[in-house]
Amino acid sequence: MFGAYTHRPMETNAARTAVLDDLHWRRMLADRTDLDALRSAMAAHPVTYYGGFDPTAPSLHFGNLVLLVTMRRLQLAGHRPIGLVGGATGLVGDPSGRTSERTLNDPDVIAGWVDRIRGQVERYLDFEGSNAAVIVNNLDWTAQMSAIDWLRDIGKHFSVSRMLAKESVSARLEAGGISYTEFSYQVMQAVDFLELYRRHGCTLQLGGSDQWGNLTAGVDLIRRIEGTVVHALATPLITRPDGQKFGKSEGSTLWLDPERTSPFAFYQWFLNVDDAVVGTYLRVFSFRSHAEIETLEADAVSRPESRSAQRSLAVEVTELVHGADATRQAVAASEALFGGADLHEIDRVTLEAAFADLPRASLAGGNGLPSVLDLFVQCGLSESRGAARRVLSEGGGYVNNVRVVDPAAVPVASDLLAGRWLLLRRGKRNLAVAEVAG
């Protein structure tokens, strides 16, 4: 279901091929098969393409967003997307980028994750019009194949020496070995491409650059069995500022599920990205015009203190993933922390996310609240009652963004945000939370 920043596809020859130039400008073409042949195919008619998502967790994460927005760009250019959720491949596990065997999850768990991830993928595609999207599950055809069918009809087309040379396999062999299960993953992905070619006329597969060996395995299989030329495009891996790959194994994973990473935390992450990478992230994820993005990139260089590029990026990506309402709440909460909005208008979930990493003090409920003076000491904003008294008398103390100068002032129950919190601030940037237990 398309949200903001989108429109109905421009179904013209120029629009269908211009998407390749757009991806090049965004530096999103890491690997590809014959680009001229793909351009000719796109000029002749809309191309059916697919991107796959394995259910190896209950939610997709930020690293998957690269493929989702790339699929969206191609659909906006008039091409037809297929979103594949890997109910079969998720049972096996892709060795790409790993140094050890993954833990195999129970089939019932995988089935539940398939449903959740299918819903996430659907958010980025349009299911109406002449190039309406399709969602498929590769378990539907893989489960129907016997072991004999697999070996005779598929396995005979794969050279073991070629499979061993694939980067994902060779890296694992150097790291200590790989099971036959994960070694077979590239064959399974190749079969997916073959089946989608047969069922839907799919002639293009998209994936990350760490998937290149799996993508080309499908291209080769279709050529051998069907005698047809098909295509593959790989996008570069988008890394963190420290060079690490985005993924679900990191402690600070950005999940696309709002129950795992709140819209506020998601927004704040982008608001705080380094100037060195904000331009890259804008090119990859923004649906603004090239001119607008280049202006924001220039601002990040000439006026880094303005943070205009980060703010634009944070708003757009959060709205893309979580919608306009959640984004407004996240922006309001961010502003509210530093005095720019009324905290009482922010919902409980957003407040909880906004306060999650702040120093805090727990207060016993039922006996009234401490004075503001004592709250500043208990929350660590002042080292002593005397220091807290000076802060307040000099006008530097705030409760819920309201200046308090009387050290004897005592908050009342109606001051509690969502019936639970008080936000304390010393000066412009020193924040803490007092939380009533229960």
- What count of other Cβ atoms lies within 10 Å of the Cβ of residue 93? 20
From CA 357, how far away is CA 345, in angstroms rounded?
Answer: 21
Q: In this predicted structure, what is the pLDDT of residue 177?
A: 80
**What is the location of CATH 3.10.290.10 in the chain?**
358-438
From CA 9, how far away is CA 437, in angstroms rounded?
Answer: 53
Q: In this predicted structure, what is the pLDDT of residue 252?
A: 63
- Give me Rg for the CA atoms of the chain: 26
DSSP three-state, residue 235: strand
Structure tokens at 66: 């690269």
DSSP three-state, residue 351: helix
Residues across the chain: 438
| Beta strand pairing call for 231-235 and 80-85 | unpaired
Q: In this predicted structure, what is the pLDDT of residue 346?
A: 86
**What is the location of CATH 3.40.50.620 in the chain?**
13-235
Pick from 258, 272, 414, 398: which is nearest to 339 by CA? 398
From CA 255, how far away is CA 253, in angstroms rounded?
Answer: 6
The top-level CATH class assigned to 13-235 is alpha beta
The whole-angstrom distance between residue 284's C-alpha and the CA centroid of its chain comes to 12
How far are the Cα atoms of 274, 283, 415, 424, 435 from residue 345, in angstroms, in the given order?
30, 34, 12, 17, 18
How many contiguous H segments (helices) and E segments (strands) does the chain have?
20, 11
**What's this model's pTM, rounded to 2 decimal places?**
0.85
Q: Using the 8-state DSSP alphabet, how is residue 288 labeled?
A: S
Please identify which residue in the block is written with the tokens 């992905």: 189
Backbone angles phi, psi at 213, to 5 degrees: -60, -40
Q: In this predicted structure, what is the pLDDT of residue 364?
A: 81
Structure tokens at 398: 């705030």
241 within 8 A of 277, measured Cβ to Cβ: yes
Task: Enumerate residue ranges in the chain where pLDDT < 70.
Answer: 1-12, 97, 99, 240-252, 339-340, 365-366, 438
60 within 8 A of 53, measured Cβ to Cβ: yes
Q: Give the DSSP letter string of 23-66.
A: HHHTT--SEES-HHHHHHHHHHSPPEEEEEE--SSSS-BHHHHH
Architecture of domain 358-438: Roll (3.10)
DSSP three-state, residue 138: coil
Structure tokens at 231: 């295509």
**What is the location of CATH 1.10.240.10 in the chain?**
262-342
381 within 8 A of 388, measured Cβ to Cβ: yes
Pick from 251, 429, 252, 431: which is nearest to 351 by CA? 431
Beta-strand (E) ranges in 158-227? 204-208
426 within 8 A of 391, measured Cβ to Cβ: yes
Q: In this predicted structure, what is the pLDDT of residue 10?
A: 54
The top-level CATH class assigned to 262-342 is mainly alpha
89 within 8 A of 55, measured Cβ to Cβ: no
Q: What is the chain's mean pLDDT, rounded?
A: 90
* 217: amino acid identity, one letter: A
Q: H or E element: which one contains 362?
A: strand 360-363
| Beta strand pairing call for 402-403 and 397-399 | antiparallel
109 within 8 A of 161, measured Cβ to Cβ: no
From CA 214, how far away is CA 188, in angstroms rounded?
Answer: 9
360 within 8 A of 435, measured Cβ to Cβ: yes
Q: In this predicted structure, what is the pLDDT of residue 240?
A: 67
Beta-strand (E) ranges in 162-230? 204-208
